[in-house]
Amino acid sequence: MIELEGAVALVTGGSRGIGRAVAERLVECGGRVAIIGRDEEAATSAAASMGDSSTVIGVRADVSQTAEVADAVAEAETQLGPIDILINNAGLARDGVVVRMSEDQWDTVVDVNLKGAFNTIKAVARGMMKRRSGRIVNISSVVGLTGNRGQANYAASKAGLIGLTKSVAKELASRGILVNAVAPGFITTDMTDDLPEAARTALLGQIPLGRLGAPADVANAVVFLSSPLADYITGQVIVVDGGMVM
């Protein structure tokens, strides 16, 4: 059993899907968690389902908005204490081939998926540096490694997260802060619910382990990287995809 002993974690987009599974796992391991979400009601009700308000809280912020993120981090630290673990999970897709992609489609995806992580890292890094300890895990995607037709904006944002992860890992290593990324493959969540049955079957054929992933599969890797078991791991990308990309 991974033991997090009251460590305070901040999980963006933790109201549902992978982020929710990560928040639940962190709580199970003894962590205290602030769930950041765009929808305050969704974030608070997810939090309430996991524990009382001394253990897990919901705080509203759109991660693409620098000032909102700074306020949300301050609120989380007031209620739970200094952030030990940051999980950058909030993300979205606005798919389309590049010749038909609007500027708005591009900006929305890059602002949430990539700038959102920059915003939260800025908001927590100084405190972690002072305390000379911290963990940051960024949720990328296998698409950030391989590219994907119709997802230039999403793939660029997820590849960007890997560059961000490695750069910040190098900048903060001497302060005892470890920064890694997890790149999920195809995980069944609201984000992937719309996929037509034929495409789902075709995808299954490319997954050596023969099943789609569950949010808990990703959460396990994230919690490992947040724990003392990963004390000598930084700047890495762990792919959680049933062997699809190797």
Interface ranges with ligand NAD (CB under 6 A):
12-13, 15-19, 37-38, 62-64, 89-92, 112, 139, 141, 184, 186-187, 189-192
154 is catalytic: yes
Cβ atoms of 182 and 139 within 8 Å: the answer is yes
Tell me how far CA of residue 68 lies from CA of 4, 24, 64, 83, 120, in angstroms.
28, 24, 8, 17, 10
* Nearer residue to ligand NAD within complex by CB, 168 or 221: 221
- Least distance from ligand NAD to the Cβ atom of residue 165, Å: 13
* Nearer residue to ligand NAD within complex by CB, 7 or 61: 61
Beta-carbon count within 10 A of 51 CB = 16
* Nearer residue to ligand NAD within complex by CB, 45 or 231: 45
Tokens of 88: 């950058």
Q: Identify the active-site residue in 106, 118, 154, 186.
A: 154
Output b/e per residue, 115-152; b: 16+ Cβ within 10 A.
bbbbbbbebbbeebbeeeebbbbbbbbbbbbeeeeebb
Which residues carry out catalysis? 154
